[in-house]
Amino acid sequence: SEQESDEEEEEDDSDEEPEQKQTKRRSVKAVTPNTVHRKIQSKNNGTKPQREYFSVKQREVLFNEFQRESDPSREQRKKIAEKTKLTVKQVTTWFRGQRYMKKNPDCKKNRGINKKSKKTYSYKQMKILTRAFEVNQNPCKKQREPLVAKTGLTDRQVMFWFRNRRERFNK
């Protein structure tokens, strides 16, 4: 009988431990990164503040000041902010961005600045290329040479013109 009571006590102990572990696990599961993330999203409704664009006059003043001094003092930034009717924080952020772009010319923000403009073809060039396209949609290099001579374009330009025209034609 003593052995049975000892076994019962051991069983009781073993029964209690899993219950405690289960409750601990449940409490850990209750707080997950997803629930925290949802709370943060609900505060600002998941929207970013609208980007503000500076007027032409504001940008002109900022660029002129940047040419004079790329890293103005706090007082200078206050004066610039008054001139442009911006906050000191906006002026500071703008100057920081300009210094970064000046230091890193290959950064993402600078990519579109030095982009080549699209080539526009004259009426005569278009007429020559269109007639050639009606005859042959995919001319080889030898067949493109007379077109290059007639149009005054490079072989590469003619080649790309045909490629683009084929894409448009097949749509």
Query: What's the CATH number where 130 sits?
Result: 1.10.10.60
Q: Does residue 28 fall inside a structural domain?
A: no
94 and 61 co-located in one domain = yes
Q: Does residue 79 fall inside a structural domain?
A: yes
135 is written with which tokens? 């005859």
Please indicate, yes or no, whether the overall pTM of this predicted structure exceeds 0.85.
no
> How many structural domains does the chain have?
2
Per-residue pLDDT of the chain (171 residues; tens, 9 = 90+): 555 545 444 444 444 445 445 555 544 444 444 444 444 444 556 566 777 788 889 989 998 999 999 899 999 999 999 999 999 999 999 999 888 888 887 776 655 555 566 778 899 999 999 999 999 999 999 999 999 999 999 999 999 999 999 998 887
Q: Does residue 15 fall inside a structural domain?
A: no
**Within 10 A of 109 (CB to CB), how many other CB atoms are there?**
11
Contact 52, 86 (CB under 8 A): no
Range of the domain at 137: 123-170
In the numeric block, the tokens 């149009």 are attached to 151
Of 40, 99, 100, 109, which is closest to residue 71 (Cα–Cα)?
99
129 and 151 co-located in one domain = yes
94 and 129 co-located in one domain = no
61 and 105 co-located in one domain = yes
CA 144 to chain CA centroid, Å, is 39
Q: Does residue 75 fall inside a structural domain?
A: yes
